[in-house]
Amino acid sequence: MTENLTWHKTKISKVDRSKLNGHKAACLWFTGLSGSGKSTLAVELEAELYKMGIHTYILDGDNVRHGLNRGLTFSDEDREENIRRIGEVAKLFVDAGIIVLSAFISPFKKDREQVRSLLGKNEFIEVFVNANLETCEARDPKGLYKKARKGEIKEFTGISSPYEEPENPEIIVNNGLNSDLQKNVSQIIDFLKTKEII
Amino acid sequence: MTENLTWHKTKISKVDRSKLNGHKAACLWFTGLSGSGKSTLAVELEAELYKMGIHTYILDGDNVRHGLNRGLTFSDEDREENIRRIGEVAKLFVDAGIIVLSAFISPFKKDREQVRSLLGKNEFIEVFVNANLETCEARDPKGLYKKARKGEIKEFTGISSPYEEPENPEIIVNNGLNSDLQKNVSQIIDFLKTKEII
């Protein structure tokens, strides 16, 4: 479908959008085990950023799996396609001037690096939400680990499918036991300020 | 992939985003033959809306076919999947508070109606960019009609694949010979004002 395409230059650029919004665009890519707290952190961060007048959007299982990625399974191949599409959508949001918060396990390093390669320098911010398997399994907010241990869910990350930790993430959030949500939110906001994104 | 999902309520709603932006969100869905002027109109409209401080984004072949929809062909099945994905992405943008402008031929009525069904009342605005085949073929800005007539492009809308005109579009833009771009832009802006979207 890429043949016979000419490029239609839009008149409004990413720079124009950043002027309108009063901040730059970026993709905060939260990765970590199920139950590590990615979505909770993203939701809380978004609420804080909103108070600051910042334009954000969260991509997560709720709004992506039932829609754009409907029909994809948890096989390695489909997981890759799942992350590829999310990466492409994140790129569109960044192009639209938004700070997009993506909260998916995204267990495979090469898939995350592929998304990174789509975006510009400083636009892809990998946030490793670090909580060990024991902690996540003890939390088990959705009862998924229990099901996975019983064999009712196949290819469950951390149990029957690998999680590849980021080697060099922009941000590591320690989200184990006794973690402080507000402190973790502040850590990310400080990072965005330091990088002059907001 | 839709099993084992719980819904994570975000704290920031579409209403909050509309307060931050100062306007409502919507999807302007431009449909029409190749060469009817969908992209030209969308680009010009976006520039005008930007001047008014309105947050927009254009989805078109340039930023979608090379990315999210890479690999899809022009077969009926892939055209349907193409439009389905664009519809889902448009829905995300609307949820993010943006006025999204989608500019694709989107020849099949049922595919457009499927997108309409994804969005809320008054959120899907079908814009039929009406120019007859003779006019579009005379313009032929990308030389595609010439190729299609030679048989070098298969399943080309209007030549070897049907275009189903909208029966009840929210807006009909007459974009034939002697059309006035600024007038057409104003027509759409007036509609958005009347519907109190902007």
Question: What average pLDDT score do residues A40-56 get?
Answer: 97
Question: What average pLDDT score do residues A71-93 get?
Answer: 92
Strand order in the sheet with B124-130: B56-60, B99-103, B26-31, B124-130, B171-174
Of residues A185 and A3, the one with the higher pLDDT is: A185
Q: CB distance from B7 to chain A under 8 Å?
A: yes
What pLDDT is stored for residue B3 in this prediction? 42
Cross-chain Cβ contact B144/A4 below 8 Å: yes
* Catalytic site residue from B18, B106, B179, B186: B106
Instruction: At A17, list the tokens.
Output: 């959008």
Consecutive H or E run containing A28: strand A26-31
Dist. CA A170–CA A122, nearest whole Å = 9
What pLDDT is stored for residue B160 in this prediction? 92
What pLDDT is stored for residue A2 in this prediction? 41
Instruction: At A189, list the tokens.
Output: 């906001």
Q: How confident is the model at residue A177 (pLDDT cuts 50, 70, 90)?
A: confident
Q: What's the Cα-to-Cα distance from B15 to each of A10, A74, B19, rounded to whole Å?
A: 28, 34, 6
CATH topology of domain A23-194: Rossmann fold (3.40.50)
Q: CB distance from B67 to chain A under 8 Å?
A: yes
Long-range contacts of A65-68 (CB under 8 A, 24+ apart): A65/B1, A65/B2, A65/B5, A66/B2, A66/B5, A67/B88, A67/B91, A67/B92, A67/B118, A68/B85, A68/B88, A68/B89, A68/B92
Question: What average pLDDT score do residues B79-89 get?
Answer: 95
Cross-chain Cβ contact B20/A50 below 8 Å: yes
Q: pLDDT tens across A120-141, in order?
A: 989 999 999 999 999 999 999 9
Residues of chain A with C-beta less than 8 angstroms from the C-beta of B2: 65-66, 70
Inform me whether the pLDDT recorded for B81 exceeds 60.
yes
Q: Are B24 and B197 in contact (CB under 8 A)?
A: yes
pLDDT mean across residues, chain B: 93
Q: What's the Cα-to-Cα distance from A55 to each of A45, A106, B92, rounded to whole Å?
A: 12, 24, 14
pLDDT mean across residues, chain A: 93
Domain residues of chain B, as ranges? 22-194
Dist. CA A28–CA A32, nearest whole Å = 13
Inform me whether the pLDDT recorded for B7 exceeds 80.
no
Question: What average pLDDT score do residues A32-54 get?
Answer: 97
Instruction: At A86, list the tokens.
Output: 């999310």
CATH topology of domain B22-194: Rossmann fold (3.40.50)
Question: What DSSP string describes chain B?
Answer: --TT------S--HHHHHHHHTS--EEEEEE--TTSSHHHHHHHHHHHHHHTT--EEEEEHHHHTTTTTTT--SSHHHHHHHHHHHHHHHHHHHHTT-EEEEE-----HHHHHHHHHHS-TTTEEEEEEE--HHHHHHH-TTSHHHHHHTTSSSS-BTTTB-----SS-SEEEE-STT--HHHHHHHHHHHHHHTT--
Cross-chain Cβ contact A1/B59 below 8 Å: no
Count CB neighbours of A49 within 10 A. 22
Task: Please provide the distance, in angstroms rounded to a whole number, between the alpha carbons at the two ends of chain B.
Answer: 37
Write the single-letter amino acid at B89.
V
Q: pLDDT tens across B138-180, in order?
A: 999 999 999 999 999 988 999 999 999 999 999 999 999 889 9
Q: pLDDT tens across B56-70, in order?
A: 999 998 899 889 999
Dist. CA A162–CA A40, nearest whole Å = 23
Dist. CA A190–CA B56, nearest whole Å = 28
Q: CB distance from B53 to chain A under 8 Å?
A: yes
Dist. CA B189–CA B49, nearest whole Å = 8
Residue A171 Cα, gap to closest chain B Cα (Å): 22
Q: Are B126 and B112 in contact (CB under 8 A)?
A: yes
Mean pLDDT is lowest, of A74-83, A128-137, B85-94, B176-185, for A74-83
Owner of token pair 């124009």: A16
Q: CB distance from A189 to chain B under 8 Å?
A: no
Answer yes or no: is the ipTM higher than 0.90: yes
Strand partners, A103: A30, A60
Dist. CA A10–CA B101, nearest whole Å = 12
Owner of token pair 């059309």: B179
